[in-house]
Amino acid sequence: MTLTDRLCLNSRWRPLPSSEKQSPAMPHTPTLPGRILIVDDEEILRQYFIKSLETEGHSCWEASNGLEALVAIQSGLYDLVITDLLMPQMDGMEVLKYIGEMEQKPLVVVLTAHADVNKAVQAMKLGAYDFLVKPILNASLCSVVHRALEHQNLIKINELQARQLQHPPTYSGLLGKSPAMLDIFRLIAQIAPTNANILISGESGTGKEQIARAIHEHSLRSEKRITVIDCTAIPEGLLESTLFGHKKGAFTGAERDHQGLIAYSNGGTVFFDEIGEMPIHLQSKILRLLQERTFKPVGSDEEAQADIRIIAASNRNLEQEVKAGHFREDLYYRLNVVPITLPPLRERPEEIIPLAEYFLSDFAAEFPHIRSISPEAQTCLRAHTWPGNVRELRNAIEHAVNLAQGNTIHPHDLPAKLRKAYHVKTQNIAETNSQMTGGQIEPFETFVARSEREYLIRLLIQAQGNVTLAAQASRIPRRSLYRLLNNAALDVNSFR
């Protein structure tokens, strides 16, 4: 009988039912949670391990012999396998040899009795990370698992760094020099090689999807796809079928089997954008997907395995949504293993101009003649509060490159609301300067020039950049007014 035939017979491997999973309030864990397969023919010992490790925040699966273990290993992606050496049908040594031939292999910790320590040593030579001697204390178990997962994480980071030497890393166009963004970039580098669930929070337009793509690109799943699921864009009635697929005849119009996005993304990353908008009756199915890595297509009684990494994002405060009863508490804790909070653009003004110049370079292929942003236009950009964040800034630069006539973006090329912010700020600066110099004697020529420029700014604001109206209101001849504006370095177009 072949190994494949043996695997298909009497396979009783199963993921743990949701009732055995940990409570929603996840405890603090010393390491990132791991996905652990426990292989032992003694159910009491398996349940003891499961209770101990789930208390530490890990997700556990069980198998009662080597054959079931191989079925589980073929079906899922584990960080660690804890296996007994002496078991019926197939022992732990054969499991260890099989794992040793895998490309992406989990670490293995073997269990042995006092009389079989030599076998444990032999297992170490075959590639086992460590061994535990029965009877096993909870502290010893947790200590070995902690060290094994830290070692596994280090292996992943080293593999990632080796790949990055061949392919220089990018952050999907992410830029940032503020302390908050630099901290986020460091966190991306740390968590990308893991399989931890991630919840990204931030206002609309802050770049949550770009962060998710950066994590995927720096992960060991980067050669597979990342699937973006916008929970606001899919009609509620179609969302379950879109995610999990359906069987022929499952509902009216289901004329054939349909593969959902979860199965389509197998091996890769799924990004749930605006997950706070997901209907609460579907949240339980996402929770099961997170806990068990299994799902059921609509109209099917059979569970399918899902080897995916899940990243979610929301512009809502999900803690408040939980309190309001709009979001499941257990799902929130499952998603929020590693939280990332993106600051709005108004809280990092030092990044406005570098981002604007980066977006300008993005449009260089279509608008190669536009090479810079004038100081006045930069002032406009800094004066705006950017309620739409980075997305609004990109749109503003796209607006400007489509209107600019020369090789430089000027204030009049920018959207009107940005020009208005510039005028208000310029006016406030002029008033502040006037107040500051009120107690000092300044040169007469300086006073006249400053006062004249102040007057002209107010005049153009009132006339909305119309020189004819400005000349009529001020009773200054148009030619003289143009000369004064030129001397004051004021561009009438920026006031329109």
pLDDT digits (tens, 9 = 90+) for 284-306: 999 999 988 899 999 888 889 99
Both tokens of 459, joined, read: 């005049």
pLDDT digits (tens, 9 = 90+) for 116-138: 667 877 888 888 888 888 888 88
In the predicted model, what is the mean pLDDT of the chain? Answer: 82
**Inter-axis angle of helices 416-436 and 375-383, nearest 10:** 90
Query: What is the structure's pLDDT at 167?
Result: 41
**How many Å apart are CA 323 and CA 274, to the nearest integer?**
18
pLDDT digits (tens, 9 = 90+) for 75-91: 767 889 999 988 887 88
Q: What's the helix, strand, coil split of the chain in %, to 5?
A: 50, 10, 35
Q: CB-based burial of residue 480 (10 Å sphere; 0-12 exposed, 13-18 middle, 19+ buried)?
A: exposed
Measured at the CA of 296, the angle between CA 240 and CA 272, to 5 degrees, comes to 45
- CATH top-level class for 179-343? alpha beta
Q: Which uninterrupted H or E stretch holds 14?
A: strand 14-15
Mean pLDDT of 92-108: 87
Specify the length of the chain in residues: 496
**C-beta of residue 174 within 8 angstroms of C-beta of residue 182:** no
SS (H, E, C) 250-279: CCCCCCCCECCHHHHCCCCEEEEECHHHCC
DSSP state, residue 352: H
Tokens 């968590």 belong to residue: 191
pLDDT band at 350 (very low <50, low <70, confident <90, very high): confident
pLDDT band at 322 (very low <50, low <70, confident <90, very high): very high
Q: How far are the Cα atoms of 62, 93, 150, 305, 411 from residue 82, in angstroms, in the given order?
A: 10, 12, 15, 21, 65
Do the domains 348-495 and 3-164 match in fold?
no
Fold category of 348-495 in CATH:
Helicase, Ruva Protein; domain 3 (1.10.8)
Residues contacting 277, CB < 8 A, separation 6+: 231, 232
The alpha-carbon radius of gyration of the chain (Å, integer) is 31
Query: What is the structure's pLDDT at 24?
Result: 35
Residues contacting 177, CB < 8 A, separation 6+: 350, 351, 354
Query: What is the structure's pLDDT at 429?
Result: 47
Q: How far are the Cα atoms of 209, 289, 334, 387 from residue 319, in angstroms, in the given order?
A: 21, 21, 13, 23
Both tokens of 393, joined, read: 């800034």
Q: Which uninterrupted H or E stretch holds 433?
A: helix 416-436
Query: What is the structure's pLDDT at 365?
Result: 84
Alpha helices in 298-405 (DSSP H): 318-323, 329-335, 352-362, 375-383, 389-403
Fold category of 3-164 in CATH:
Rossmann fold (3.40.50)
Domain boundaries, the chain: 3-164, 179-343, 348-495
